[in-house]
Amino acid sequence: MKKAKLLCKVLLSLWIVYNIFTLLMMPNIGNYLGRVSSRFITPYANTVGLNASWNFFSPDPAHTMYIKYLINYTDKDGNPTKDAVEGFFPPEKNQGIPSIFRKRELYVMRFMVIDAKRLKVFMGPWLCRQYPGATSVDMEHVIETVPALDQVVTLKDEGVRDLSQELQMSRESFSCIDTPDEVTL
C-alpha cells in the first residue's frame, strides 16, 4: 500500500512538472529550448489546449550599430594635405559603452539609421567642428548583426564575431567648407 501511494505521488509530481514545463514552453515555441523540446510537449499541448502562443520571453539582442567616418584634408585642387583620419562613433564600436552617462550614444545610432539624411544634417557638421581644418567627411552607418542561436549551435567551431555580418546601411558625404547657415531635414 505504501509503495502504491509513493508511486502515485511521484507520478503526480512528474505530471505537474511536465505540465508546468509545457505551460512555460508553448507560448514561445519558436525559441531554441522550445524547438528542441517541441516533439515531447506539442502533442500533449495540442490535446489539452495548452498550445496558445503569446511570446513572453525577451526579444533577440540588438544589433551593434556605429558610424564609420573618414575625415579628409585637401587643398583647393583636391590633393590631400594631411593623411585622412578614420574614426568611429561611438569610439568603442564593438565593446559596449563603458559609462552609464554615455548610453545616449546608442540611441543616437537608432535615430541616425531611421533617415540617411540625418548623417549629413547632424553628424557631418558636428564632425567638422571636432576636426578643425577638415575639408570633407565621408560617413557610413554600419550594423553588425547578431547571429541566430541556431547558427551558433550548428557552427560550434566558429566564433560569434566570425558569424556576424557587417551591413552598410547608408553612406553620406559632407563638405566642411561650404556649410550653409541653416540645414533642414
pLDDT digits (tens, 9 = 90+) for 116-160: 888 888 888 989 999 988 999 999 988 888 777 777 778 778 776
Q: What is the pLDDT of residue 185?
A: 46
In what helix (H) or strand (E) does residue 124 lie, and over which residues does it extend? helix 124-130
- Per-residue b/e over 103-141, b at no fewer than 16 CB within 10 Å? eebbebbeebbeebebbbbebbbebbeebeebbbbbbbb
Query: Would you state the cell numbers that stand for residue 85, as one nine-digit string?
Result: 583620419
pTM, whole model, 2 decimals?
0.60
Query: Would you state the cell numbers that stand for residue 100, as one nine-digit string?
Result: 552609464
Q: How many angstroms separate the most distant Cα atoms in the chain? A: 100
Q: For 10-33, what is each residue's pLDDT tens digit?
A: 999 999 999 988 888 887 777 778
**Which pLDDT band holds residue 53 (cuts at 50, 70, 90)?**
low
Q: What is the pLDDT of residue 181?
A: 53
DSSP annotation of 80 reads B
In what helix (H) or strand (E) does residue 34 lie, and over which residues does it extend? helix 32-48
CA distance 22 to 142: 40
CB-CB neighbours of 152 under 10 Å: 15
Q: Which residue has the cell 528542441?
A: 36
pLDDT mean over 81-110: 77
Measure CA 57 to chain center.
Answer: 17
Residue 57 has pLDDT above 60, yes or no: no
